[in-house]
Amino acid sequence: MDITVAQNPFAVSTLEPLPYRTQSGFSLIEVLVAIVILSVGMLGAVGMQATALQSNKETRYQAIATTFGRELAEKMRGNNTVAIKTAAAQNPYLFDETLSAAPALPGGLVNCFTSGCTSPVTLATWDVFDWQQRVQLALPTPRVKVCFDDDPFDSAGKARWACAPGTGATGGNVAVLKMSWTRNNTAGVLEFAAGAGVPVVVVPLTAGSPE
């Protein structure tokens, strides 16, 4: 019986040995390049996240301002005998204030929630005071202006603080709420409401009718 190489453990194998293979790792330069690329990507992601947070905050502020505008409109509709007057001396709902601190309680004003208001003008004064207090707490240094303005936008469609001329004594027949607050403008510059900025929110207020 023949003994083959595979069956004979003492037989010398004629198979050639496998070539020697070397394995090299990453060089220091490659590692540094990878770290730089990863860092640039992470910085971009952080920048996008910061922009998204800022946009979300501005959107939240705009929603808050719009809600306050609707609330003031309802107060004016409920007290329309005062709200339709175009003279600020007769209509406490007409004002232009930058609320950098909590508004002061007007002299002689009573709390309409606890003591009750005996006249429409007193009720309007309390409405404005209570409303301004909550706006000042909800928005950063807000500027609020309420005036009669038939055209609150300029020819380029940009909101403006000034009240346009109209048939009403203070600039029109439509009561308009204009609001802004301390914010970053489109150029990323911090813009104060009381400065050269423009209104961010413009809400037409329906004063109602005496009928």
15-59 pLDDT per residue, tens: 555 555 555 556 778 778 778 887 777 776 666 666 666 667 888
For residue 96, being part of any structural domain is answered with yes
For residue 20, being part of any structural domain is answered with no
Asked if 110 and 126 count as a contact pair (C-beta separation under 8 A), the reply is yes
Asked if 125 and 111 count as a contact pair (C-beta separation under 8 A), the reply is no
Q: How high is the pLDDT of residue 167?
A: 46
Average pLDDT over residues 96-120: 82
Phi-psi region of 50 (alpha: psi -120 to 50; beta: other; left: phi over 0): alpha
For residue 138, being part of any structural domain is answered with yes
* Domain around 61: 30-205
For residue 21, being part of any structural domain is answered with no
Q: How many domains does the chain have?
A: 1
Closest to 128 measured CA to CA, from 172, 76, 50: 76
For residue 210, being part of any structural domain is answered with no
The model's pTM is: 0.69
For residue 157, being part of any structural domain is answered with yes
For residue 139, being part of any structural domain is answered with yes
For residue 7, being part of any structural domain is answered with no
